[in-house]
Structure 1
């Protein structure tokens, strides 16, 4: 099997690496964190200018028809640069719902704004007691004429503060943990009855807790079948997990690079600590863990094309397990090899570890996905 990038994919990698090298150093990131919503509109505009926001959309919708490999390349680069902008929330997740189940009218209303950078989205899914179960939904959507009335609460909605449109999971029938009766709805963030409480998360991103009180939306708000959309939700979330795996690989690459540079220059007893064999072994183990994660990230990317939903889901869960184990090891070793400086806000290595830790807990932690793989009888 050929794992080499095509010429177009290499050009994409060089393009985004060059853009982020020029506009996203650690000091610039600190400034971007202070902007509204915790990210830079200027950088988002540059991503749009290079066509990165339209990458996964079909050419018929104004995009470039990119696939999983292209998304993997972008997410790795975003991870290396510790980017704050809502690519995952808007392009991967929001765009995923529109690509897989959006009507022509819904695509026409939202995709052009995503591609040109004028519109961002947020996925409102997590509830107070739902943990990682996508089918655990107590927010309701009740019929009113041709439209719907949505009531409920969602928590830790990434980009929930800045998003123009919210993609909301809501129950149209059945009990809280029924797998049937779940719909997905497009809700304007400024709709009457929507209230948002925003805050920064541990990794420097911003999220919001959102309450829906008698929010009225039209019949055209439902994406796909409003009474049977769990399979759609699972597919889009699996794509988000794959994207997070790629981002984690980029973060681990940069963590390893930063740590090796540090131990080469940090002196103790008159010599660089990188000359100590025990620390060289630890750096080597970090490299092995990062490469294991890279292999599973590639596997998960290919699994996106599996026709069998169970096989695809199992492959993604297995990748999330390995990514979780690798990122924990690489992150912890990075901090330890930096010593006390690694625990300070001034050192970027701590910020990389924070983001890695948040990725491990997003859409299912390592233990959760290990149980999924075990319940499925293993990967093979």
Structure 2
């Protein structure tokens, strides 16, 4: 496929994704989630699966679209722009990992369920152990136990292993809490016996490499979503600055506000360029480093831009009833998912 054909394909994917995300998401739904409604809609989840988004980075032989990280970022950017609350990035990343382990029946069954939109597979990394009796995992779930499976990993190098943990199994406990935007976070506490009873689908250095590629895709997709929501938030502020008058003129004519808006535009544009360049470099030797840089930069940019957007609206922007705060809260929740692990990757690369 030529570069021109690829651009046309990505443009069509983006248009389709924008229409779908606008119909299923938007500030009104984000507000309902913030006020306590579920962040996970099974109908929307199945509709996303019907569009093939979960298989966007899965080989065609495994039932996917094989479009790669660049297409995943185009879709995720539009989802972020519309504040779509379903954990799209996790779904795409988990599918790519499961596809690589499809020769094992548990992985294949989980992959088919995910591609059909019949389940959600959360990704969880080991955080710590408690008195040598239990393994503590932390991850993100859409709504309580809506994640039917946890793709959980521990160790590194030759000691790396990934297992599929089924929610509700004996020895697996969940501690769920609300994020600032109303989505749900969960910690999983796994007894050692339950861990070793769960099917192992990846192990060793090869398994660690497969997991790393999946994590890279999650970083890139969430980075693109952050770029999308930052752009949408800035457009909301610019429209307000055109309509709001003070001293007989639009406040957008004030030079101080123009400078701040220009800085936000440059920052958002640069972050978006970095994300999409990192997506094109996803399969290169520096792919992990590029993806880590993309999510760190996009997180910082989205947080800065959405904070400025609240300021642009003046006192009304600080009111909980205004939409400006929805973008800020989503930026805070989404950016916090990966920042620590991505920064660790960047520090590791700097030492090499």
The answer to whether residue 77 in structure 2 is matched with residue 76 in structure 1 is yes
Q: How does 1:1-380 map to 2 (within 5 A)?
A: 5-31=6-32, 38-92=39-93, 94-125=94-125, 127=127, 138=129, 151-159=134-142, 161-171=145-155, 180-216=158-194, 221-225=199-203, 229-306=207-284, 308=285, 311-365=286-340, 368=344, 371-372=347-348, 374-376=350-352
Q: Is the 8 A contact 2:101 2:108 kept in 1?
A: no
Secondary structure of 1:56 counterpart:
coil
Q: Is the 8 A contact 2:134 2:192 kept in 1?
A: yes
Q: Please give the alpha-carbon distance, in whole angstroms, between the structure 2 residues aligned to 1:151 and 1:122.
A: 19
Q: Deviations over 1:213-268 (max 9, x none)?
A: 24436788112225874333333222211112111110111011111011111222
Change (3 A) 1:220 1:294: same
Q: Please give the alpha-carbon distance, in whole angstroms, between the structure 1 residues aligned to 2:62 and 2:240.
A: 46
| Between structures 1 and 2, the one with greater helix share | 2
Q: Please give the alpha-carbon distance, in whole angstroms, between the structure 2 residues aligned to 1:201 and 1:126.
A: 20
Change (3 A) 1:220 1:362: closer
Q: Is the 8 A contact 1:184 1:226 kept in 2?
A: no
Change (3 A) 1:323 1:138: same
Q: Please give the alpha-carbon distance, in whole angstroms, between the structure 2 residues aligned to 1:103 and 1:354.
A: 41
Q: Please give the alpha-carbon distance, in whole angstroms, between the structure 2 residues aligned to 1:283 and 1:216.
A: 53
Tell me the TM-score normalized by structure 2.
Answer: 0.88
Q: Is the 8 A contact 1:296 1:319 kept in 2?
A: yes
Tell me the TM-score normalized by structure 1.
Answer: 0.82
Q: Please give the alpha-carbon distance, in whole angstroms, between the structure 2 residues aligned to 1:197 and 1:219.
A: 21
Secondary structure of 1:353 counterpart:
helix
Q: Is the 8 A contact 2:102 2:108 kept in 1?
A: no
Q: Is the 8 A contact 2:233 2:306 kept in 1?
A: yes
Q: Please give the alpha-carbon distance, in whole angstroms, between the structure 1 residues aligned to 2:218 and 2:335.
A: 13
Secondary structure of 2:138 counterpart:
strand
Q: Please give the alpha-carbon distance, in whole angstroms, between the structure 1 residues aligned to 2:282 and 2:260.
A: 33
Q: Please give the alpha-carbon distance, in whole angstroms, between the structure 1 residues aligned to 2:347 and 2:203.
A: 29
Q: What is the root-mean-square deviation in Å for CA atoms of aligned residues? A: 2.9
Q: Deviations over 1:140-167 (max 9, x none)?
A: 99xxxxxxxx932223533363111111
Q: Please give the alpha-carbon distance, in whole angstroms, between the structure 1 residues aligned to 2:199 and 2:130.
A: 16
Secondary structure of 2:86 counterpart:
coil
Q: Please give the alpha-carbon distance, in whole angstroms, between the structure 2 residues aligned to 1:170 and 1:161.
A: 21
Q: Please give the alpha-carbon distance, in whole angstroms, between the structure 2 residues aligned to 1:315 and 1:167.
A: 24
The count of aligned residue pairs is 349
Change (3 A) 1:117 1:35: farther
Q: Is the 8 A contact 1:98 1:106 kept in 2?
A: no
Secondary structure of 2:67 counterpart:
coil
Q: Please give the alpha-carbon distance, in whole angstroms, between the structure 2 residues aligned to 1:279 and 1:28.
A: 30
Q: Please give the alpha-carbon distance, in whole angstroms, between the structure 1 residues aligned to 2:263 and 2:348.
A: 27
In the alignment, structure 2 segments of 5+ residues that lack a partner are none
Q: Please give the alpha-carbon distance, in whole angstroms, between the structure 1 residues aligned to 2:167 and 2:302.
A: 34
Q: Deviations over 1:344-371 (max 9, x none)?
A: 3222222212222333333235865664
